[in-house]
């Protein structure tokens, strides 16, 4: 088991090479969650994730002979960049095995840190197997993404910083994938403040640690697609399972929609970018998943911010639709000049903004009619109903459509 001295020693090693991320109180999230809420912004690290803490601690503990031969890791995301970045800064050769399906930008970012990139397999498991083969074939040292005491100790430095930044913290909400971050934070927090509540948060799509706790041992789940790909781990680690079983007070899950809403909330209200895995703790707070936190000081760890911009665009659009700020309506019109102008005038009078217009005769219910489909920007759900009512009062047949 990793101990408090291990985590404290790790902080001493890495302190001057990582960013002391802020842990600031947020009024809006406090109001939404019924807590005194704080955000620990690990998405602001150089590589956009807390993962570089464990990677750096491990690299600094590796012997000279192992450094000379080189290191190897398997990852499609944050662990890859953390290992590559700090290996490059330390002058250590690093090989990163990534699935062939890894987005081009993630491959480019990892290669930019000086690592040798090997693309292999259709998924992480196949990339992992190839990394272990290369480890043996080339005499490399494998750096595990979570199930390693050096990694756990490095990730635990997040917990030490939280206790220093918010000394009277009552609860810490931690994303869980393989369990390295939750294990390390729990080791630090429970040793110094046993009364601090540690809440792990998983996606309900792939709750591998929760399944392990229920089974009494790590079990392998079926792979599943999730917006929180950074914690999409089919099997919890053996070492991390033991730490979580002993030290984490509760594990809760959040849905895909809740994660997307948390990403949008962080972007719009907190002015910070989080990936899906990085937003799950915030999602748990927003939806009051954890028990007994009302009125308590709760820190949510925003663990990473490496998210594809196209996914951000889709999340924003879905969020606007959910809030009623983006709506699509169909209006039946008599096919004669001036009808579009009249509808546009009503929309303008009610201060809605037309984003897109599609005019068609093919789907009209009667000959001589036409259908107008409009995508509108509005202030919210009440504004949408106000606008629909105004159109109906003018005699138009109007229907709200999905987007």
Active site residues: 51, 303
Report angle CA 42, 45, 49 to the nearest 5 degrees.
60
| Phi, psi of 219, deg, nearest 5 | -125, 160
Strand bridging mode 171-175 / 197-203: parallel
Judge contact between 82 and 88, C-beta under 8 A.
Answer: no
Residue 85 CB-density burial (10 A; 0-12 exposed, 13-18 middle, 19+ buried): buried
| SS3 assignment, position 43 | helix
Q: Residue-wise over 137-161: b if at least 16 C-beta within 10 A, else e?
A: eeebbbbbbbbbbbbbbbbbbbbbb
Q: What are phi and psi of 271, to 5 degrees?
A: 60, 40
Residue 83: which residues within 8 A CB-CB, separation 6 or more?
Answer: 55, 59, 71, 73, 75, 94, 96, 115, 143
What pairing do the DSSP bridges indicate for beta strands 23-25 and 297-302?
unpaired
Q: Are 262 and 274 in contact (CB under 8 A)?
A: yes
Question: What SS3 class is residue 126?
Answer: helix
Find the length of the chain.
403
Collapsed DSSP state (helix, strand, coil) of residue 223: coil
* Other Cβ atoms closer than 10 A to 241: 24
Query: How is residue 225 written in tokens?
Result: 């697609």
Distance CA(396)–CA(388), nearest Å, equals: 9
């Amino acid at each position: 088991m990793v101990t408090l001295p291990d985590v404290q020693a790790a902080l001493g090693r890495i302190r001057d090479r990582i960013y002391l991320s802020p842990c600031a109180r947020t009024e809006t999230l406090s109001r939404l969650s019924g807590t005194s809420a704080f955000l620990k912004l690990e998405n602001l690290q150089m590589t956009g994730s807390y993962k570089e803490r464990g990677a750096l601690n491990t690299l600094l503990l590796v012997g000279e002979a192992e450094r000379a031969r080189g290191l190897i890791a398997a990852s499609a995301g944050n662990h890859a960049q953390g290992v590559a970045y700090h290996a490059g800064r330390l002058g250590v050769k690093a090989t990163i095995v990534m699935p062939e399906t890894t987005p081009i930008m993630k491959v480019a970012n990892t290669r930019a840190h000086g690592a040798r990139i090997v693309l292999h397999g259709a998924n992480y498991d196949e990339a992992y197997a190839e990394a272990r083969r290369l480890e043996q074939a080339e005499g490399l040292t494998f750096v595990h993404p979570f199930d390693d005491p050096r990694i756990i100790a490095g990730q635990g430095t997040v917990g030490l910083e939280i206790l220093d930044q918010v000394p009277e913290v009552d609860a810490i909400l931690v994303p869980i994938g393989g369990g390295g971050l939750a294990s390390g934070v729990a080791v630090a927090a429970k040793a110094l403040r046993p009364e601090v509540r540690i809440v792990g948060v998983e996606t309900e799509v792939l709750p591998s640690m929760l399944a392990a706790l229920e089974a009494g041992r790590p079990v392998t789940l079926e792979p599943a697609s999730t917006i929180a790909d950074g914690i999409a781990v089919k099997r919890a680690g053996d070492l991390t399972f033991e730490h979580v079983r002993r030290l984490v007070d509760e594990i809760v899950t959040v849905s895909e929609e809740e994660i997307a809403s948390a990403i949008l909330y962080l972007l719009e209200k907190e002015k910070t970018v989080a990936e899906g895995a990085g937003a799950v703790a915030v999602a748990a707070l927003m939806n009051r998943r954890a028990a007994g936190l009302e009125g308590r000081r709760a820190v949510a760890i925003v663990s990473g911010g490496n998210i594809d911009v196209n996914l951000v665009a889709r999340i924003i659009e879905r969020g606007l639709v959910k809030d009623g700020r983006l709506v699509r309506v169909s209006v039946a019109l008599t096919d004669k000049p001036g009808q579009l102008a009249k509808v546009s005038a009503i929309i303008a009078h009610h201060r809605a903004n037309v984003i897109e217009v599609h005019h068609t005769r093919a789907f009209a219910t009667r000959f001589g009619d036409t259908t107008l489909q409009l995508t509108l920007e509005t202030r919210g759900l009440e504004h949408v109903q106000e606008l629909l009512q105004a159109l109906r009062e003018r005699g138009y047949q109007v229907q709200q459509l999905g987007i």
